[in-house]
Amino acid sequence: MSFNTPLDLRYAESHEWVRVEGDEVVVGITDYAQDALGDIVYVELPAVGATFNAGDVFGVIESVKASSDLYAPVSGEVTAVNTDLEDDQAPINSDPYGAGWILRMKSSGEESALLDAAAYEKHVAEQQH
């Protein structure tokens, strides 16, 4: 099984991706993560203005089969959440790096410490043993 892992993004070991856009970062879950979870039918998102440290649980994502925590890949304040996902979660499965984005945070600069695409693919391959 191969997954889409865009080269211009950074990745957390907990399977979130980060895209730097100006002084903000956009956060979502990876193609590997959406495939492993299956059909996503529910998301619980934080409020705009909430702040998290890297590794904090910031939300929950639920498929028919399982519920899974979402972890902040970097520290910072939430500046926007994708409220469209509250009514229709399908974009997380169909377009995880685009319309399936989850939230935006103020950039803390920590994203450079995250995995690059090659390192994330290696991490995924190890998880699949």
Partner 1 sequence: MLKQTPLYAQHVALGARMVEFGGWNMPVQYSSILEEHAAVRSTAGLFDISHMGRFIVSGADAEAFLQHITTYDVAKIAVGQSNYSLLCHPHGGIIDDIFIYHLPDEYLVVVNASNRDKDWTWFQQHAEDFDVTLEDRSDSWAMLAIQGPIAEALLNAADDVEADDLTYLPFHGVALCRLFGVDGLIARTGYTGEDGFELFFSAGHAPLIWESLLTLGQSAGLKPCGLGARDSLRFEPCLALYGHEIADDINPYEARLGWVVKLNKGDFIGRDALQRIKQAGPSRRLVGFEMVERGVPRGGYPIHSVDGEPIGAVTTGMPAPTLSKPLGLGYVPVASAHTDSEFDVIIRGKSVRARVVKTPFYAARYKK
Contacts with partner 1 by CB under 8 A lie at 38-39, 41-42, 44, 60, 62-67, 69
| Minimum distance of partner 1 from residue 49's CB (angstroms) | 20
Q: Which is nearer to partner 1, 64 or 113 (by Cβ)?
A: 64
Torsion of CA 29, 31, 35, 37, to 10 degrees: -10
Question: 14: burial class by Cβ within 10 Å (0-12, 13-18, 19+)?
Answer: middle
Nearer to partner 1, 99 or 117 (CB): 99
The conformation of residue 97, written as its DSSP 8-state character, comes to T
Shortest Å, Cβ 95 to partner 1: 15
CA–CA separation, 112 and 23 (whole Å): 13
Select 18 or 71, whichever has its Cβ closest to partner 1: 71
Q: How far is the CB of 36 from partner 1 (least distance, A)?
A: 8
Min dist CB 66 to partner 1, Å, is: 8
User: H helices of the chain, where?
Assistant: 31-37, 84-87, 90-94, 117-127
Indicate the residue among 94 and 108 with the shorter CB distance to partner 1.
94
Rounded to the nearest 10 degrees, how much is the dihedral formed by the CA atoms of 52, 14, 35, 42? -30
Number of C-beta neighbours around residue 23 at 10 A: 9
